Structure 1
Amino acid sequence: MNQPLSKTGTMLKVLLKRDWLKLIFWLLGLLAFAASGVGKMEVAASPATASTMYTMFVKNPAMIGLFGTTPIKSPAAYSLGPIFGQTMTLITAITFAIISIIYVINRTRKEEDDGIAELFRSYSIGKLANTTAVVLELMALHLIIAFALALSIQAQNVTGLNDWHSNLLFACSTSAQGLLWGMFTLFFAQVFPDATGAKGATFGLLGLFYILRMGTDVSAVHAGWFNPLAWSYLGFPYAKSFENWLGVVLALLLAGVLLLLAYLLEMKRDIGAGYLPEGRGRAQAKKSLLSLPGLVLSLQKKMIFAWLVAFFVLGLVYGSMFGQMDEFINSNPTVKQIFVGDATAHKAIVGNFMVTLFSILSILVAAFAVILLSRMTTEERKNRQEQLYALPVSRAKVYWTYVILALVASLFAQFLTAVGIYIEQKSMENPLTFAEIIQPALVWVVGIVFVLALLSLLIAFLPRAVGLIWGYVGFLLFMTYLGRLLDLPQWLEKLNIYDYLPKMPVEQMAWTPVLTILLLSAGLMTVAYMGYRKRDLIGG
């Protein structure tokens, strides 16, 4: 059509009708993640603990690398507001960004790959109508989230977090990142030939910016202004005289530029095509494709390789933090007073950092494993599993192939992360041995196995609702990230599978809970197999 925006309103109504329940779920979930711990954090951030909190979060380069930086220069000023701003802004922005990336790719490029967009184009609908409708829905979502988040924090009336300007800055800084990364996704959706490539490129860029900001936060904070992800917290919400809206403005401006570029690119390309050429492939298939494991691995090998490289690089990056902790301990007499001596300080700080580090990394590995195993139902919805079962292939072989691939890949990812940490921290004054790193790393794999067991149950009994597993992964992230800072109910903590694992090296190895969780996971996977074997296949 000559009018590229024709019927945008109609497409927006269709999207809202399809997504209203999902949008409400996202809104409530994001609010719960970002605002639910405000009142509880007041207990942890008391004046009595201000000096210790300041030393551990503001002066410790390892914690700055994890949580972000703050301009506060004295323990007396490091109250609840600055603590909340430093620990919550970056992780909330990343959460909003991930939601936007997944949503935009599913409603744009993935629908092209599935042939849905072609059906829409067969009617008198403008070429940019669907894209514009997605953008409008995304803008509305983040605008509502911004005001709802600010209001929810304000309504709790917690001292230090009851300034409307600060609450609005925090909410707008994080929501602007959600919109920005939605536009990054839209841009890459035009460039790459399929949804998988576009999503991988966007997540790869997000990961790269995260790693770059770790370096600038520790050594050159002002250089962070060249990093779009750092704009989320360089406005320093709750830091009073340091607060500014420049990060929000820059994020919105860059989002507008990316949207304009995406429009220009989409107008000039054919539906289902991209600007990067697709690989031509081999003239003859490999013999490995004649087996089911070989076929499944071949379909996911590029994604697996990219994730494994990312985990190894993350290991290298976090490994460099150990050397900075040596300097931090040696140059900070307050730390030595808290832990009584250099050796005790080193052991305590490094040990607690490893617990925090591996708990967060294990959730990322769990997300990787969930993506791998979820591919099983993705293939079902696209009616591809029917083609497999037309051949002499058993349900057992299909089910266990996907499960074993997810288990092995997650184990290998955790191993590579530990290798990266070991290689980079060898230059420390007191380097850790490989055994001291790999043992606590592998303990967290037990929790990943349990997450996969829960997902296998969903695949077997609720195959159309496998997305519910992301709610539990988000819950694990919330509990791991803020659980130790908040005085949460005991029953809520018990829902966290990581709560049962020994926190090595701070705690001693405890085989009873580890073996119990492994046996329980194996039992759940077996029950799931029995359910999968008896159910009908789902289709699109």
Structure 2
Amino acid sequence: MNKPLYKTGAMFKSLLKRDWLKLIFWVLGMLAFAASGAGKMEVASSPATAATMYTMFVKNPAMLGLFGATPIKNPSAYTLGPIFGQTMTLITAITFAIISIIYVVNRTRKEEDDGIAELFRSFSIGKLANTTAVVIELVLLHIVMALLLAFSIQAQNVDGLNNLSSNLLFASSTSAQGLMWGMIALFFAQIFPEAGGAKGTTFGFLGLLYVIRMGTDVAAPQAGWFNPLSWGYLGFPYAAGHESWLGVGLALVFSILMLIVAYVLEIKRDVNAGYLPEGRGRAHAKRTLLSLPGLVLSLQKKMIIGWLLAVFVLGLVYGSMFGQMDQFISGNELVKQIFIGNATATDAITGNFMVTLFSILSILVSAFAVILLSRMTAEERKNRQEQLYALPISRLKVYLTYVLTAIIGSVVAQFLAVLGIYVEQLGNKNALSFADVMKPGMIWIVGIVFVVALLSLLVAFIPRASGAIWVYLGFLLFMSYLGHILDLPQWIEKLSIYDYIPKLPVDKMDWGNVSVILILSVLMIVLGFVGYRRRDLIGG
């Protein structure tokens, strides 16, 4: 076929028929995530309140590491617009990036792994037709998303968020990041011989740039222009006199470059092939493969090791912020005035920072647990579970193997993340003890177990809709990231399981709540097994 784009239009129509419902849910979900905070933030109503917000979010290096930089130099100018721009731009861009990465890899490299691409190529279709159709759909998705997001914020007519050009800059910055990371994922999809490697490497690259930007935002914000992830918020939406479309332009140019390179790489390779060689494997299987748990762990060991290393490194990075917290507290007179006494200021600021930090880390670990348990339905869709059940293996053993793998793996991951924080902050003047770090860090495991239990119900009763758990994880992230500065209805806050977890060390331990969550989780897991034992296996 000498026409690599031949039948792109037909492939695009086919893609829309397959994805239209999913795309609608994505748009609605992303709008709810990104636009729902507009007007709900606690606007600084007095100079004292504005100064407090400015000190906590702009002068505090730890918060800069979490939320990103802002060019605002005057506390009185730190109103709703700059607050929304600083706290929402980075997290929204990352959310769009994650969705784009998953979608692009699943619709390109994963379809090659599943044999779908080879089926397409058996017809008179250009070699780049499917990839181009995916790119067109992704571009249109982010254009629609940018327009809807900008006008939805504009329609709320909130003081500080009612400038259409600022709203368009915010929406375009985040959508451009989503498109750019989709193209980066497409590039890695050509390099690796299977979808797991492409997806894992892209996420690893995203994580690496996130860690790098934490350092540049605190020490040298202008250095962020060398970091593609920072382009999403260095345009500083809503910061009057500092707004710039340069980051959007750079992201779009980089997207085009990545697309061109991906096209060149794909046109020169065979279907199901990659540019990195596949491992030849062992001549004889290990003894561990003779057991179901050994097989499950062996199939996911690279991903598990990658996640464990990543959360430990992230813990080290976050742990380094405690030293900056010490300097911030001891060297800021306003902080001493806000709280009664230096000790109270230290405890209050450090404690609240730990609550935010550990809750966000636990959501990342929950995502790890969801990936581990979701492997069970992924194997079903590929008709591989039928081969297991041809052996004398009970459904209880299969179900518990995946559930316990997810729970144990997430416990280890949370421990390593907290351990990284503890190790890195040991050199600080006011270093916390092992127990002082572990107790508030490990209590979030009950929330992770609850997420696993909730997913087990979906896997048991509506396995084809089990991906809905990612919506709940997004909600938890939104509430943990911004819940403390939004004036949301109480019933919405109560939908988050994290609302019931004791916020150590700020709050006292509540064994009653912890016990109820764990008991409810166990009951959901048991009910999940009942449903899984009775339902049919799903196929591709």
Q: TM-score normalized by structure 1?
A: 0.99
Q: Distance in 1 between matches of 2:346 and 2:94?
A: 31
Match of 1:509 in 2: 509
Structure 2: stretches of 5+ with no match in the other structure: none
Instruction: Provide the aligned length of Structure 1 versus Structure 2.
Output: 539
* 8 Å Cα contact 2:43/2:79 also seen in 1: no
Match of 2:281 in 1: 281
1:130 to partner: Cα distance: 0.4
- What amino acid does structure 2 have at the position aligned with 1:412? V
Q: Distance in 2 between matches of 1:329 and 1:317?
A: 19
Match of 2:133 in 1: 133
Identity of aligned residues (%): 73
Match of 2:296 in 1: 296
- What amino acid does structure 2 have at the position aligned with 1:368? F
Match of 1:219 in 2: 219
Match of 1:46 in 2: 45
- SS of the equivalent of 1:537 reads coil
Q: Distance in 2 between matches of 1:161 and 1:434?
A: 44
Q: Distance in 1 between matches of 2:138 and 2:45?
A: 38
* CA deviation vs aligned residue, 1:235-285 (integer Å, no higher than 9, x gap): 000001011011000000000000000000000000000000011111111
Match of 1:363 in 2: 363
* CA deviation vs aligned residue, 1:182-215 (integer Å, no higher than 9, x gap): 0000000000010000000000000000000000
Match of 1:268 in 2: 268
* 8 Å Cα contact 2:44/2:79 also seen in 1: yes
Q: Distance in 1 between matches of 2:492 and 2:236?
A: 31
- SS of the equivalent of 1:161 reads coil
- What amino acid does structure 1 have at the position aligned with 2:484? R
How big is the alpha-carbon RMSD for the aligned residues of Structure 1 and Structure 2?
0.7
1:39 to partner: Cα distance: 1.8
Question: 1:537/1:384 Cα in 2 relative to 1: closer, same or farther (>3 Å)?
Answer: same
* CA deviation vs aligned residue, 1:413-454 (integer Å, no higher than 9, x gap): 100011100111011110000101111111111011111111
Aligned counterparts, 1:66-145, within 5 A: 66-145=66-145
Q: Distance in 1 between matches of 2:221 and 2:492?
A: 37
Q: Distance in 1 between matches of 2:126 and 2:526?
A: 50
* 8 Å Cα contact 1:44/1:485 also seen in 2: no
- What amino acid does structure 2 have at the position aligned with 1:46? S
Q: Distance in 2 between matches of 1:524 and 1:459?
A: 11
Q: Distance in 1 between matches of 2:313 and 2:339?
A: 32
Match of 1:21 in 2: 21
* 8 Å Cα contact 1:45/1:83 also seen in 2: no
Match of 2:441 in 1: 441
1:40 to partner: Cα distance: 1.2
- SS of the equivalent of 2:485 reads coil
Establish whether residue 30 from structure 1 lines up as the match of residue 30 from structure 2: yes
Q: Distance in 2 between matches of 1:457 and 1:330?
A: 49
Q: TM-score normalized by structure 2?
A: 0.99
- SS of the equivalent of 1:56 reads helix
Q: Distance in 1 between matches of 2:46 and 2:248?
A: 31
1:44 to partner: Cα distance: 4.2
Q: Distance in 2 between matches of 1:125 and 1:282?
A: 38
Structure 1: stretches of 5+ with no match in the other structure: none
Of 530-539 and 168-177, the range deviating more from structure 2: 530-539
Establish whether residue 468 from structure 1 lines up as the match of residue 468 from structure 2: yes
1:341 to partner: Cα distance: 2.1
1:524 to partner: Cα distance: 0.7
Q: Distance in 1 between matches of 2:2 and 2:445?
A: 55
- What amino acid does structure 2 have at the position aligned with 1:419? L
* 8 Å Cα contact 2:93/2:175 also seen in 1: yes
- What amino acid does structure 2 have at the position aligned with 1:8? T
1:47 to partner: Cα distance: 3.5
1:339 to partner: Cα distance: 1.1
Match of 2:536 in 1: 536
- SS of the equivalent of 2:273 reads coil
Q: Distance in 1 between matches of 2:499 and 2:452?
A: 17
Aligned counterparts, 1:335-350, within 5 A: 335-350=335-350
* 8 Å Cα contact 2:39/2:156 also seen in 1: yes
- SS of the equivalent of 1:176 reads helix
Match of 1:6 in 2: 6
Aligned counterparts, 1:67-466, within 5 A: 67-466=67-466
Q: Distance in 2 between matches of 1:146 and 1:46?
A: 30
